[in-house]
Amino acid sequence: MNFNLAEEIRKMLELMDKSPRVNRFVWFVTIFGGSIFLIWLLLNGFPSVIEALIKWQQMTGKP
């Protein structure tokens, strides 16, 4: 399955265009907040998540 971020964003923007004004605000906050959270997760949380998974695999012996 090929994931195209630009295409997904375009689809979301088309949905926002068809939505009432209040829903547009909710969509904007969701997309903006989600983007900031993902960037924060990649910069701060992601290495620790990988370390935790590696330690869990070593403890359980699962590949």
Helix, strand, coil distribution of the chain in percent, nearest 5: 85, 0, 15
pTM: 0.38
Q: What does each of the 63 residues of the chain score in pLDDT, given as a tens digit?
A: 566 778 887 887 787 777 677 677 787 888 888 888 877 777 776 777 777 777 877 887 765
pLDDT value at position 24? 73
Cα torsion angle, 30, 47, 6, 3, sign: negative
